[in-house]
Amino acid sequence: MGDSKDLLEEGIKLFRLNRWEPALAELLKVDTDGFSAEETADLAYYLGLCYTKLKRYDDALLYLEQVVTSSPDPLRLYQCRMTLAYIYVTTGRSKLAEFELGRLVEGGFESVQMYTTLAYAAWSQRHYQKAVDYYEKALELDENSPTALNGLGYILADSDLDVLKGLRLCRKAVDKKPQSAAYLDSLGWAYFKSGDTAEARIWLRRALDMAPHHKVIREHMKIVVAD
């Protein structure tokens, strides 16, 4: 029993040091016989997080779902549902991401990250107005959130809902994070949608220089150059 608890503590320590592989190796050695429900939940939680960091998402889901169905800790539930939503968005299962985040909304949780993830999930399903609403809720919580500014700006410009407002928001996001290739791309695309092809090329070129293999940026540049 002592050895298993030591292994659990060591695995958690390694995880907090961002040493995902060694942390996972330690945690997989743990024998839960005689563990309390709390200790078992801790093990499942950190195994889920390790697998998430290592992009082994199917393995991560198994453990995170265990925590969601058994943990009485509201903060732990929030963290797990946010991680589950991230996995589902990353793997193209946006409806499942919305379900997890919807449970948090029902539980009275609010955060910028939650609303921006909901917005991205809605956008990926082409529910543009719904995505706009979520990004606006994120900005109500933090009017300077670069993620929300960029996301809302891109959608408004790309969908032609309000191109000029989208352009202003994208500029603001770039001002806050000028080294983000994604934000530079959004700004370039917003300029293109506003009719300013010359300015669009400048910002998209900067984005492409930072992320030369990024598929979306390359597609945007191809469209703008051909215009």
Domain range for 57 is 1-72
- In a domain? residue 94: no
**Cβ burial 90-112 (10 Å sphere, 16+ → b, else e):** eeebbebbbebbebbeeeebeeb
Number of alpha carbons in the 13 Å side-chain half-sphere of residue 210: 14
d(CA 208, CA 96): 32
Residue 40 lies in a domain: yes
In a domain, 21, yes or no: yes
43 falls within a domain: yes
pLDDT in tens, the chain (227 residues): 458 888 999 999 999 999 999 999 999 999 988 888 888 989 999 999 999 999 999 999 999 999 998 877 888 888 999 999 999 988 989 899 989 988 888 888 889 999 999 999 899 889 999 999 999 999 999 999 999 999 999 999 999 999 999 999 999 999 999 999 999 999 999 999 999 999 999 999 999 999 999 999 999 999 999 87
Domain-embedded: residue 10:
yes
Distance CA 173, CA 170 (A): 5
Residue owning tokens 């993830």: 117
Tell whether 36 is covered by a domain. Answer: yes
Domains: count for the chain: 1
Task: Let me know: does 201 contact 188? Beta carbons within 8 Å.
Answer: yes
Within-domain flag for 46? yes
- How many other β-carbons are positioned within 10 Å of the β-carbon of residue 175? 12
Q: The CATH number of the domain where 6 resides is what? A: 1.25.40.10
